[in-house]
Every structure is written in structure tokens, then in C-alpha cells.
């Protein structure tokens, strides 16, 4: 840590020093994307990534998934078109919420399951991993 703090110019102890060195460490370790890659991932038409948590009830995410796949009209009268691909992902206890949202969409006949991907990624700052699920739903 001290060497990292010296390289980043941050103090090796104290809140400010830790924050600066973590930022510096993240800037070194995270892969850098080119402008084309960033634009491609941010503006892929018809694809939405929905990250679910346990902070809101499952019905919130079920309604959101349904509205993504059916299209909605906003309060200003603007019509939002339905999307083609919905990626639903959840970490830890939110896996149940992600599965509930995906199964409800399929049960209603709004989409079909394309891919279910599970992983156990390492969490930053801990030595333990956390289960993760990513479900890809295609519009019918």
C-alpha cells in the first residue's frame, strides 16, 4: 500500500490517502476501452441490461421487464418502443429476484429464454466470491 500511495502521490494512511490510492489502483487494474468500444456498449440498439437488487420488491422488476418488452408510453406522450434483448442480472440474494422476473416474462409469453449464465466472481476488497446470474430474454 505504501508503494502504491507513493506512486499515486497519496498519503499511505488516513481516509483521504486510502481513497486516492484505491482510485489510482482501480485506474491501473481496470481495462481501458477505446472510444469505439465504449460507444458500442452504451448505444447498442434494442439491448437493455437490467441489474436487480433486493432493495426493491420483485414485482417492481417484473413490471419493469414487462414494460421493456412491450413498450410503454411516457407521461409526456412519448412512445418507447419494445426492446429486442433484455439481460437480467443479479448478485447474491438478488438471484431469486432475477429468476422471478425472467420466469414471469416467459410465463406471460412476452419473451423466450435465450441463455442462463452463472458465475462466482471475486468481490473487490474481500477474499470471498459472490454468486451471480445473468439471464438473457429475447422478445417474441
pLDDT at 46: 87
Return the DSSP state at 75.
T
Which ranges of 58-94 would DSSP assign to H, the alpha helix?
A: 58-70
pLDDT exceeds 70 at position 20: no
Report the alpha-carbon distance of residue 122 to residue 80 in Å, rounded: 37
Report in angstroms the alpha-carbon separations of 138 from 15, 16, 70, 95, 105: 46, 46, 12, 19, 10
pLDDT at 43: 59
In contact, 4 and 25? CB cutoff 8 Å: yes
Split at pLDDT 50, 70, 90, the class of 25 is very low
Instruction: Name which residue leads in pLDDT, 72 or 45.
Output: 72
Helix 58-70 vs helix 95-108: angle between axes, to the nearest 10 degrees? 40
The model's pLDDT over 53-97, given as tens digits with 9 standing for 90+, comes to 999 999 999 999 999 999 999 889 899 899 999 999 999 999 999
What confidence score (pLDDT) does residue 42 get? 54
Q: Does pLDDT of 17 surpass 70? A: no
pTM: 0.68
Amino acid at each position: 500500500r505504501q508503494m502504491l500511495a507513493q506512486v499515486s502521490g497519496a498519503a499511505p494512511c488516513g481516509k483521504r490517502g486510502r481513497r486516492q490510492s484505491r482510485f489510482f489502483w482501480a485506474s491501473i487494474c481496470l481495462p481501458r476501452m477505446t472510444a469505439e468500444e465504449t460507444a458500442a456498449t452504451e448505444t447498442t440498439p434494442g439491448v437493455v441490461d437490467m441489474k436487480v437488487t433486493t432493495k426493491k420488491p420483485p414485482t417492481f422488476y417484473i413490471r419493469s421487464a414487462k414494460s421493456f418488452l412491450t413498450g410503454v408510453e411516457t407521461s409526456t406522450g412519448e412512445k418507447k418502443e419494445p426492446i429486442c434483448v433484455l439481460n437480467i442480472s443479479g448478485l447474491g440474494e438478488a438471484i431469486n429476484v432475477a429468476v422471478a422476473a425472467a420466469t414471469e416474462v416467459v410465463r406471460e409469453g412476452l419473451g423466450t429464454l435465450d441463455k442462463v449464465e452463472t458465475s462466482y466472481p471475486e468481490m473487490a476488497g474481500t477474499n470471498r466470491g459472490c454468486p451471480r446470474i445473468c439471464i438473457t430474454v429475447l422478445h417474441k
